Amino acid sequence: MNSVDQPQNIPSQTASEAYQNEATSHELKDAIEQFEPSSEKKTIPSQVDLSTFEQRIAELEGQVKEAKEAHARANAEAYNARNRMEQETEKTKKFALERFAKQLLDVVDNLERAIDSSQSDNDPVLEGVKLTHKSLLDILEKNGIQVVNPEGATFNADLHEAVGIDPEASPNQVGQVLQKGYTLNDRLLRPAMVRVGN
């Protein structure tokens, strides 16, 4: 006898259960959407006025710029002041002897006059005067004082003082030197008094 499979009894879902399952499914879906991180960036409305902060940042940046400029100016002024002081000190060192050297030039002139006015070359006093004159010039040279003796040179108004005409000299050439000039560290101490050709 053939046995025919009897259908199993599957409990059918009631309408109320189906409605309840559907409602639960919707609630779960809403909950997942609510807590699931979204890829979209959402802006949160804020009561903060950003323009106030931007204005303050601009003010602070301006103050920093002013402070940097003031610092740079102060550094430059200090550097310049130091350089000026060093230059003044150097000038003071170089030209501290100026007044004393000018007074010594009178002594040199007197010794040269004594040598020029001597009658005899064999005079022992004259030899002593010549040695004294040479020693004094050596000392002056060691201290930066140089003789300006422009005889035969072109007239230079920066170093020479024309006090007359020398008819035997060429035009604009120094003829007779009446008094030698001197420089102290390349700065004019006394001009040479000369006669110039016309």
- The end-to-end CA distance of the chain, in Å, is 167
Q: Which two tokens stand for residue 153?
A: 């040179």
| Residue predicted with more confidence, 185 or 132 | 132
Give 137-179 pLDDT, tens digit per residue.
999 999 889 999 998 899 999 999 999 999 988 899 999 999 9
Q: Which residue do the tokens 């000299």 mark? A: 169
Report pTM.
0.53
Give 15-68 pLDDT, tens digit per residue.
677 677 777 777 777 766 666 555 555 666 667 678 888 999 999 999 999 999
- Please give the full DSSP string across 133-179, using - where no structure is assigned: HHHHHHHHHHTTEEEE--TTSBP-TTTEEEEEE-TTSPBTBEEEEEE
Cα(194)–Cα(198) distance, integer angstroms? 13
In sign, the C-alpha dihedral spanning 112, 117, 119, 124 is negative
Cα(192)–Cα(196) distance, integer angstroms? 12
Task: Determine the residue type at 182.
Answer: Y
pLDDT of residue 136: 94
Arithmetic mean of pLDDT, 111-135: 89
